[in-house]
Amino acid sequence: MRLENKVALITGASSGIGKESALLFAKEGAKIVAVDVNDAEGEKTVAEIKTAGGEAVYTHADVSKAADCEAMVKTAEDQFGKLNVMFNNAGIMDSRDDNALVTEEDVWDLTMAINLKGVFLGCKYGIAAMLRAGGGSIINTASFVGLMGAATPQVAYTASKGGVIALSRELSVIHARENIRVNALCPGPLRTELLMKFLDTEAKKQKRLVHIPMGRFGEAKEMAQAALFLASDESSYTTGTEFVVDGGITSAYVTPE
């Protein structure tokens, strides 16, 4: 198994990429700390893991709060003795997020607090635990829009994901010789509840789909497979990357005639 004897903490584990990654990582031998603010669905993720024969615990944490992030990492060490994989995946996409003229300050602040500050806090406490464990892998969920911008305006989200990419790159350099790898996973448009709520009309969906060479939205399970590679020792020489899994969209991001 690719994650045997490893302990993985995954935020946003109640749905989407986080849930699929928790299930897959557990199947590959990892002990899972599933983190979310949706307790009912987070507990369901843990129950599915246990039913399949895996080991997991759930803990509630608002990733925008330092005390919660410190506590979730402590849970990993208290329950399983160490932390080897930190998947800072929790994020939001506010339906009110638009262009700079109409996006309200509270939407900007909330998006930054969860999508960017939450990753920073996860790294802050996760790196400390990994130093105690002798190293590890950090995966931060960014997005292709952090590299290219978005066809449908969402300035706060795009800026937050650009920040995740820059933060990941810098941390990878700082901690490379301490056996800690840091990579930014950059999904393309996915058929997840998060994006489908934002692309809430057929016109908005088609505005994204027209750019994707594969002609379809990606699936959360496909991102989990990419995260598994970054979490495993198979990616032992991979750090500081923008790990793009996007159906080709960043290679063909042009406005159609």
Judge whether 48 lies within some domain: yes
State the catalytic residues. 157
Judge whether 204 lies within some domain: no
The Cα 1–Cα 200 span in angstroms is: 39
On the question of pLDDT at 234 being above 60, the answer is yes
- Residues 6 or more apart whose Cβ sits within 8 Å of residue 53: none
On the question of pLDDT at 34 being above 90, the answer is yes
Judge whether 236 lies within some domain: yes
Nearest to 13 by CA among 82, 63, 78: 63
Judge whether 194 lies within some domain: no
Q: Minimum mean pLDDT among 15-29, 58-72, 201-215: which range? A: 201-215
Contacts for 172-180: CB closer than 8 Å, 24+ residues apart: 172/239, 172/240, 173/240, 175/127, 176/239, 176/240, 178/131, 178/135, 179/134, 179/135, 179/136, 180/127, 180/130, 180/131, 180/135, 180/136, 180/137, 180/138
On the question of pLDDT at 20 being above 50, the answer is yes
Residues β-bridged to residue 56: 32
Mean per-residue pLDDT, 59-80 = 98
Rg of the chain, C-alpha, whole Å: 17
On the question of pLDDT at 211 being above 90, the answer is no
State what percent of residues in the chain have pLDDT above 90. Answer: 87
Mean per-residue pLDDT, 16-40 = 98
pLDDT tens digit string along 119-157? Answer: 999 999 999 999 999 999 999 999 999 999 987 899 999
Predicted pLDDT of residue 196: 83
pLDDT tens digit string along 70-118? Answer: 999 999 999 999 999 999 999 999 999 999 999 999 999 999 999 999 9
The Cα 249–Cα 99 span in angstroms is: 21
Predicted pLDDT of residue 256: 45
The Cα 9–Cα 76 span in angstroms is: 7
Q: Minimum mean pLDDT among 130-139, 198-207, 219-228: which range? A: 198-207
Judge whether 253 lies within some domain: no
Judge whether 201 lies within some domain: no
Judge whether 34 lies within some domain: yes
Predicted pLDDT of residue 204: 82
Residue 17 banded pLDDT, cuts 50, 70, 90: very high
In which domain, by residue range, is 123 found?
7-187+219-241
Q: Tokens 């899972």 sit at which residue?
A: 32
Residue 48 banded pLDDT, cuts 50, 70, 90: very high
Question: What is the layout of strands, in order, in the sheet containing 242-245?
Answer: 56-60, 31-36, 7-11, 85-88, 136-141, 180-187, 242-245
pLDDT tens digit string along 166-175? Answer: 999 999 999 9
The mean pLDDT value of the chain amounts to: 95
On the question of pLDDT at 208 being above 90, the answer is no
Secondary structure in 3-state letters for 134-202: CCEEEEEECCCHHHHCCCCCCHHHHHHHHHHHHHHHHHHHHHHHHCEEEEEEEECCECCHHHHHHCCCH
Judge whether 206 lies within some domain: no
On the question of pLDDT at 191 being above 70, the answer is yes
CATH code assigned at 161: 3.40.50.720
Predicted pLDDT of residue 254: 53
Predicted pLDDT of residue 58: 98
Total domains in the chain come to 1
The Cα 231–Cα 3 span in angstroms is: 8
* Amino acid in position 177: R
